[in-house]
A and B are shown apart, each in its own frame.
Chain A
Amino acid sequence: MILRWLRPSDNVRRELEAAVIALLVTVAIGSVLMLIVGKSPGHVWSQMLFHTFTEPYWFGYLLYRATALALTGLAVAIALDAGMFNIGAEGQLTAGVLACAVIGTSIPAGTPAILAIPLCLVGAALAGGAVGAAIGYLRVARDAHEVITSIMLNAIVAGVALYIGNIALFQGGTTTGAQIAPGAQLPQLGLAGSSASLAIVISVLAVAGVWWLRARTTWGMAWLAVGRDPAAARSVGINVGRVRVLAMAGSGALAGLAAANFVLGHKHAFEEGLGRGTGLLGISVALLGRTHPAGVAVAALLLGFFSAGGLSVAQEVPKELIEMLQGVVVLAVACAGPWVRRRPTPMEAAP
């Protein structure tokens, strides 16, 4: 066992090699851009690392971003595992945000946390899960391409949320709703007033849970089998359609749960556009992490670092530069993977 860890298989080594190459390429491209804006790359990179890893506020911001990204990343990852491309995490997250806020504001103000928080979480998961399941159902029963239905549902959910906000939630002329009950608010981690909250526990549990399902249960086996080869899965008696709908429901539920980070942990209210972009970046996280839960967690932390580090040096380089690098790193990993895999292994290269 220990030997296996010390001498990783060729596959693992190649994945790591690809990740290192991709990071180097990203740093190189970022450095060139920094030179273009007239800053010393060495200085900016070291400042980014220094701020994020020595100052509690920026480290908290990293965790805050990573918490949500890990959930939307897992959401996209489990759908991909089952052979579905869930481009709709954005809409499922918004559904979760809406459900969280509506439940949080409509329960009595004195509701204890032990009741209020689970209620909000279940609501968010159900709302996101329903949107996800609808996409899965349309694919399985009506053969409707999930990319179209996801894109349509993203637009529809955003519009409906805005409508409900306008007629029922927004406070007099603002685009912010009322505060949720105090019992539903997740405690902050106390990192120098940063927005990191106990929502991180949900993310950690989700990563561990998906890991366990994938590695140790027949459910996980079934959904991986469906993703890899639906025909073969069918021939061994797996109900491919049901697995896909369930995977999409689970995917939507995970994306919906990311709402906890924004509503219960940070803003404590519904806000127009709250969490926007997190669903889309979740696709990057899932792909960057190669859909494995551990990879997803690392990818979420990495993109969280770019967000926090980028903001912490916003005085020196425009924060848009770092936002752009979040895309560059994904592109670099996508390109480095096949490039590394095509090179012969030492065994193959040996005469």
Chain B
Amino acid sequence: MIASLLSLAFLAQVVRIAVPYALAAMGGSITERAGVVDLALEAKLLFGAFTAAAFAHATGSAFAGVVGGMFAGVLVTGVQLFCALRLRADQVIVGIALNVIALGGTRFLLQLVYHEGANSPPVPGFGHAVLANPLVWLAFVAAVAVPIAIKRTRWGLRLRAAGDRPDALVAVGVSPHRARIAAALVGGALTGAGGAQLTLAVGGFVADMSGGRGYIALAMVILAGWRPLVAALACAGIAFAEAFNIQLQVSAIGIPHELAQLAPYVLTLLVLGIAGGKHGKPPQSLGKL
């Protein structure tokens, strides 16, 4: 049992599961730190997953799938920002609405493009070798680079200012909206790439395959106090628990798997219930324009 948990195969499983969570959490961290509420993570994952399937199927290349996923993530973010910044719609409503649209929209596209109700045709993936999967590398690089970029680059400084003190940005002659757009589009691309991993890992798109991962990723961002590196680690924790649960089912030691798979959620609640939520402050202008 212990040996099987320490095996490389198990570790690879954890990494494979963690990629969509981690990429969505990085995307969400960037967008929220820039002051835009990002409930639309679920929509970006789902549209990213579908578009990845469409691109990979049309070209026969998994790389094209990644490009497709990022493209869809950017596109959804574009709609989100147009509604939230240009039209000043409530950012929470925009996110929820986009998630509803993604649920019906990806099924509609499935019907329209492939005349299928639930599955896309099989598409090529990156194979089972985790280290040969560029999305795994992207997730690792993002988990390291996003915190540094937010802290140390001009792009990061501007996005933090847009999230905390937009008036300060205006004072130095930078448009807060531009800074938000520059940030959120990068976040959308990362999240869309996470969606691509969902599709490419199982070799095809399945309706509703994001299964609430976008919401979980956002919860991890908030739990981490909007610190991307901590959020990435929290996502790794979720993935560890999921992989552990799959392992349990295989080795069957008597804990009901319906309950075992709840462990990360119960743990999150316990952490919040015992330690309390005073562990990180949201960006000061989050959701306000």
Contacts and interface: CB of A to CB of B under 8 A. Distances in A.
Interface of A: 33, 36-37, 85, 87, 138-139, 142-145, 147-149, 151-156, 159-160, 162-163, 166-167, 280-281, 283-284, 287, 318, 320-328, 330-331, 333-335, 337-339, 342
Interface of B: 83, 87-90, 92-94, 96-105, 107-108, 110-112, 212, 215-216, 218-219, 222-223, 256, 258-259, 261-262, 265-266, 268-269, 272-273, 276-278
A284 B108 contact: no
A339 B269 contact: no
A152 B262 CA distance: 9
A318 B108 contact: yes
B277 A144 contact: yes
A142 B89 CA distance: 31
Contacts of A287: 90, 92-93, 96
Contact of A320 (B93, B104, B268): B104
A331 B269 contact: no
A142 B88 contact: no
Which of A281, A322, A326, A342 is packed against the most chain B CB atoms within 10 Å? A326
Contacts of A163: 256, 258-259
B259 A327 contact: no
14 contacts: A33-B108, A37-B112, A147-B219, A148-B219, A151-B215, A156-B265, A159-B262, A160-B262, A283-B96, A320-B108, A322-B104, A326-B104, A333-B93, A338-B87
Contacts of B105: 320, 324, 327
Which of A87, A162, A320 is packed against the most chain B CB atoms within 10 Å? A320
Contacts, number: 150
A153 B262 CA distance: 10
A330 B97 contact: yes
Nearest to B258: A163
B219 to A, nearest CB: 4
Contacts of A326: 100, 104
A144 B276 contact: yes
Contacts of A85: 92
A335 B94 CA distance: 8
A323 B110 CA distance: 14
A152 B269 contact: yes
Contact of A151 (B83, B100, B216, B258): B216
B122 to A, nearest CB: 21
Contacts of B100: 280-281, 284, 323-324, 326-327, 330
B212 A155 contact: yes
A343 to B, nearest CB: 12
B75 to A, nearest CB: 15
Contacts of A145: 222-223, 272, 277
Contact of B108 (A143, A321, A331): A321
Contacts of A167: 256
Given A147-B219, A148-B219, A284 B97 contact: yes
Contact of B112 (A155, A318, A328): A318
A334 B93 contact: yes
Contact of A324 (B87, B89, B101, B259): B101
Nearest to A303: B100
Given A143-B277, A320-B108, A321-B108, A149 B269 contact: yes
Contacts of B92: 85, 287
Contact of B89 (A154, A321, A337): A337
A154 B218 CA distance: 14
